[in-house]
Amino acid sequence: MSELLPNHVAGGWVHGTGPGVALIDPVLGDTLVRVDAGGIDLASAFAFAREVGGTALRALTCRERGELLGAIARVLQSHREAYDAIACANSGTVKSDSAVDIDGAIYTVSTYARMAARLGDTRHLIDGEAVRLGKDESFQSQHVQVPTRGVALFINAFNFPAWGLWEKAAPALLSGVPVIVKPATATAWLTQRMVKDVIDAGILPAGALSVICGSSAGLLDALQPFDLVSFTGSADTAAIIRQHPAIARRSVRVNIEADSVNSAILMPGDAPGSPTFDAFVKEVAREMTVKSGQKCTAIRRAFVPVQLHDAAAEAIAARLAKTVVGNPRNSTVRMGALVNRAQYDAVRAGIEQLAREGNVIHDGAQAGLVDADPTVACCVGPTLLGVRDPDAASLVHDIEVFGPVATLMPYRDTAHAAHLARRGEGSLVVSLYGPDEDALARMALDLADSHGRVHVVSPSVAALHTGHGNVMPQSMHGGPGRAGGGEELGGLRALGFYHRRAVVQGAPGVITSMGI
């Protein structure tokens, strides 16, 4: 029988008491390892994290916590090859796609380690300037932010088992808040291995970092009023979390990242073959195929001026036709598998739904697989759909097919394009492509109300931009409406989620001393 991975709670390793859930290679169909969380004393695990891990972290200065993050980044880098092998086997990703997850995680931890130096030897954050409350300076008000005395519970998605952990854990640990991560079961192996490597290296205080693999049953029940939850996943699960008594009655703070039907817009003013036209085509195709389209930030809807629809369709389809799909162990393969058979079935069903409102421009089902049995491998070729009348359509603005699928649609003018983008009812990201920077700026501000991030590509940054779907630790990640209404990262802004803001009123000497 395959290995049963242990969980790490209350400062020690413990196996679940059940038979475990098998993690499967989505290309070969082999069983890899098993995970189980049955029998864990969750109340004790959470209490240990709060009382032991939290106390130890809060005793450190921000600079010292940053040094811990730097050590974590070095440990993760030293095990880079092992992580790549796990990602290939468990997620079915090619090396370049694995790097998006693994190297993105290491870069994020390293970035927050560097940011810590700016905070210095403080254990809390001063929020704004002191303000007098009376007719003279003898009585003042100063807002401060102090680390919450709870635990941060992360319930993560399957698509980013590495980055999904560390983009949350880095600012939490820097804030002085202990972490318990519950990775998605399907790809929990990489998360568990990263936690194990950090624990084995003896970097963090006991209780500062825990991992629970398997069922999430009982996790929310263990939450107390000063704890935090950060969830990444479906809107349906997010709704269940929001209604849980811990959130609804105990005021546990929650951050949600849910569904997002992201858009890319080619602005007016360019012809086929122009730099911005080519940048748009390249990015749409790339976002469809990176990690087999299994990114919360991937382009799902692509909008072009009506007169450029056919040219864009032809150009994107031509790029997609060059995508080699199959076993990521083969060096010629450029796109691997979906995470499992359930995801494969969901994507196929989603394509059928979207096709009811439009036509198939490039059919991924026609792509032959390299070194992979189509009856076993969870591979779907990139599929580009087209909808000629986006105003009459509804499914394309509502359904997020979480795979290598996007829909191309025409628009009349920029007001129409913005209206169509907003029909996603709140998204993580929209990208704009055009030569006129004034027009791009106006459109960016017009769309900022309904998008967490507006990624603008003009000719001057065409070779430098970080990509529509890449989430950088310096920029905010999250979005309004159906995207969950949450905010992560954004540099030191991320620390706000893990701190409690309070105001201290007193004499100037008291106020001044708090800055020490």
* 88 among known catalytic residues: no
Strand partners for 164: none
Claim to verify: residue 173 and residue 243 sit in the same structural domain: yes
Q: Report the C-alpha gap between 180 and 165 in whole angstroms.
A: 10
What's the pLDDT score for residue 1?
Answer: 66
Q: Which one of the listed residues 213, 296, 378, 379 is annotated catalytic?
A: 296
Report mean pLDDT in 10-residue bins for the chain, 516 residues.
Answer: 92 94 96 96 97 98 97 98 97 96 98 95 92 91 96 96 98 98 97 98 98 92 96 92 93 94 95 94 97 97 97 97 96 96 96 95 89 95 97 96 97 98 97 96 97 96 92 96 96 96 94 83
Give which of 459, 443, 506, 434 is closest to 130, Cα–Cα: 506
What's the pLDDT score for residue 367?
Answer: 77
Q: Report the C-alpha gap between 329 and 41 in whole angstroms.
A: 40
Residue 103 sits in a domain of what CATH number? 3.40.605.10
Claim to verify: residue 457 and residue 507 sit in the same structural domain: no
Side-chain half-sphere CA neighbours of 333 within 13 A: 26
Q: What is the pLDDT of residues 197-216, one digit of tens each?
A: 999 999 999 999 999 999 88
What's the pLDDT score for residue 269?
Answer: 86
Claim to verify: residue 387 and residue 267 sit in the same structural domain: yes
Summary mean pLDDT of the chain: 95
Q: Report the C-alpha gap between 88 and 174 in whole angstroms.
A: 31
| Contact between 403 and 294 (Cβ < 8 Å) | yes
Q: Report the C-alpha gap between 409 and 402 in whole angstroms.
A: 19
Q: Which residue is associated with the tokens 């009585």?
A: 139
pTM higher than 0.85 for the full model? yes
Instruction: Report which residue type is found at 442.
Output: R
Cβ neighbours of 248 (radius 10 Å): 11
Is 304 among the domain residues?
yes
Claim to verify: residue 413 and residue 346 sit in the same structural domain: yes
Claim to verify: residue 179 and residue 312 sit in the same structural domain: no
Is 372 among the domain residues?
yes
Instruction: Report which residue type is found at 21.
Output: V
- Name the domain count of the chain: 2
Q: What is the pLDDT of residues 383-425, one digit of tens each?
A: 999 999 999 999 999 999 999 999 999 999 999 999 999 999 9
Strand order of the sheet with strand 21-24?
4-5, 31-35, 21-24
Is 145 among the domain residues?
yes
Q: Report the C-alpha gap between 403 and 290 in whole angstroms.
A: 10
What's the pLDDT score for residue 134?
Answer: 86
Is 483 among the domain residues?
no
Claim to verify: residue 23 and residue 128 sit in the same structural domain: yes
| Contact between 88 and 98 (Cβ < 8 Å) | yes
Claim to verify: residue 106 and residue 147 sit in the same structural domain: yes
Residue 302 sits in a domain of what CATH number? 3.40.309.10
| Contact between 164 and 183 (Cβ < 8 Å) | yes
Is 478 among the domain residues?
no
Long-range CB contact pairs, 17-23, < 8 A, 24+: 18/214, 20/214, 21/185, 21/214, 23/90, 23/185, 23/186, 23/187, 23/188, 23/189
Claim to verify: residue 130 and residue 188 sit in the same structural domain: yes
CA distance from start to end of the chain: 57
| Contact between 439 and 267 (Cβ < 8 Å) | yes
Pairing state of beta strands 405-411 and 383-386? parallel
Q: Which one of the listed residues 257, 283, 400, 487 is annotated catalytic?
A: 257
Claim to verify: residue 120 and residue 237 sit in the same structural domain: yes
Claim to verify: residue 253 and residue 147 sit in the same structural domain: yes
Strand partners for 303: 265, 409
Q: Phi and psi dihedrals of 411, rounded to 5?
A: -135, 160
Is 479 among the domain residues?
no
Is 475 among the domain residues?
no
Q: Phi and psi dihedrals of 182, rounded to 5?
A: -115, 95
Claim to verify: residue 508 and residue 435 sit in the same structural domain: no
What's the pLDDT score for residue 514?
Answer: 86
Claim to verify: residue 102 and residue 72 sit in the same structural domain: yes
What percent of the chain lies above the pLDDT cut of 90?
A: 94
What's the pLDDT score for residue 515?
Answer: 76
Is 272 among the domain residues?
yes
* 296 among known catalytic residues: yes
Under the phi-then-psi rule, with left for phi > 0, alpha for psi from -120 to 50, and beta for the rest, what region is 372?
beta
Give the range of the structural domain holding residue 492, as residue numbers without chain letter.
4-258+488-513
| Contact between 419 and 469 (Cβ < 8 Å) | no
What's the pLDDT score for residue 463?
Answer: 87
